[in-house]
Structure 1
Amino acid sequence: MIPALAGCGVNAIPTKEERARAAWGDVQSQYQRRADLVPNLVATVQASAVQERTVLNEVIEARARATAVNVTPEDAGAMQAFQESQSELAGALSRLLLVVEAYPELQSNRNFLELQSQLEGAENRIAIARRDYNEAVADYNTELRTFPGVFWASTIHGGSEPMQPFQATEAAQAAPEVNFNLDAPPAAAGQTAPAR
């Protein structure tokens, strides 16, 4: 009987749930990696741009809010708060990088350039982790709603709840472009910087 149940997909729900939870762990890990870069970035900028205290404080406060949110993939409200706090941190970091353009000594500072590169890499890893998480959640949620998964979810796996995918926040719909070409002026929203 047990082999017959396994052949009918009884294990699909917990398997897909674990895959989605592992993908969520990757998302959190990548966001933490970005948050860990912030103190060094702030310290490097602070040494050269003391008059930019407001922007630096925004970054520090946004990091604190972003790392304070506790979330589980099944809690839509907590997921929304998490996404908003992460979007807020990304916006504060973008503003900081724009301010830095006014400081030539920072643009040639090896530590700053390395941190800037690491931040760009972290953003790329976040995008990949979010995509992988959304794929795992879609697979899991589909299993919960289709046969035979819907049967197993209502009988054997009664506590199985759909998970919340990552969705773009309203602020992300019009995200500013970050221009790492320090010789060119910043591009207006929706435009690309000229190639050099």
Structure 2
Amino acid sequence: MKTWVKSLIVVIIILIIIAIPMISSYNNLVTLEQDVNVAESNIDTQLQRRSDLIPNLVNTVKGYASQEKDIFTEIADARSKLAGANNITEQANADSELSGALSRLLLVVENYPDLKSNQNFQDLSIQLEGTENRIAIARQDYNTAATTYNTKVKSFPTKIVASLFGFQEKPLYKATEGAQQVPEVNFSS
């Protein structure tokens, strides 16, 4: 066998040895990125479910508390921002704003005992509570998937493949600043 043929075989073997882990890393990154995309979609689905429930809840409360117009406006504005969010960070900010407005709405309800005993309101409240729990789980699932993906993107030698093929870190779903503070509700005005 000629020397150049042996050299060619050695080069081909080396290329195969390099290509197999690269292909494996690439496929793994694609899988992890899809997991992140599915988790983000699940957040969207649960936020949409909550957005669909809110008008019914607001209309039920409006019948009892028509003088609480500011809270209804806040909820409508926050829903609009959530619907117009273009990325996970904007979505997290709008979601936090909507959650705050809903918290204030539920505090308003405390002043209307007849409303709290209304079956329609109770049913909507239970559905909303379940949806809030689903949203929390969807956020956790997204952050878990994003963390797994981000760790892989940053890890050597996958980092090389990630940079070659344009895989970039995914942002974590974070609450906005001030989201940990309890909203202030003033009924004296």
Same fold (TM over 0.5): yes
User: Distance in 2 between the 1:175 and 1:24 partners?
Assistant: 27
The worse-fitting range, judged by mean Cα deviation, of 95-104 and 60-69 is 60-69
Alpha carbons 1:12, 1:149 under 8 Å: kept: no
The aligned runs of 1:53-68 (5 Å cut-off) are 53-68=69-84
Q: Does 1:154 align with 2:181?
A: no
- Which residue type is aligned with residue 166 of structure 1? Y
Which of 171, 185, 189 aligns to 1:164? It is: 171
Q: Percent identity?
A: 46
TM-score (norm 1): 0.79
Q: Go from structure 1 to structure 2 and tell me whether the alpha carbon gap of 1:60 and 1:5 turns closer, same or farther (over 3 Å shift).
A: same
User: Distance in 2 between the 1:54 and 1:160 partners?
Assistant: 44
TM-score (norm 2): 0.81
Provide the aligned length of Structure 1 versus Structure 2.
167
- Cα offset for 1:80? 3.0
CA-atom RMSD in angstroms: 1.9
Alpha carbons 1:55, 1:95 under 8 Å: kept: yes
Q: Does 1:32 align with 2:39?
A: no
- Which residue type is aligned with residue 160 of structure 1? F
CA displacement, residues 104-154 of structure 1 (integer Å, 9 cap, x when unaligned): 111111110111111111111111000010010011111111122112113
Alpha carbons 1:8, 1:148 under 8 Å: kept: no
Quick check: which one's helix share is greater?
2
User: Distance in 2 between the 1:154 and 1:64 partners?
Assistant: 36
Aligned to 2:115: 106
Aligned to 2:6: none
Q: Does 1:19 align with 2:35?
A: yes
User: Distance in 2 between the 1:153 and 1:11 partners?
Assistant: 11
Aligned to 1:93: 102
Alpha carbons 1:38, 1:60 under 8 Å: kept: no
Q: Which runs of 4+ in 1 moved over 4 A?
A: none
Unaligned runs of 5+ residues in structure 2 are 1-15, 184-189
Aligned to 1:182: none
- Which residue type is aligned with residue 37 of structure 2? R
- Which residue type is aligned with residue 89 of structure 2? Q
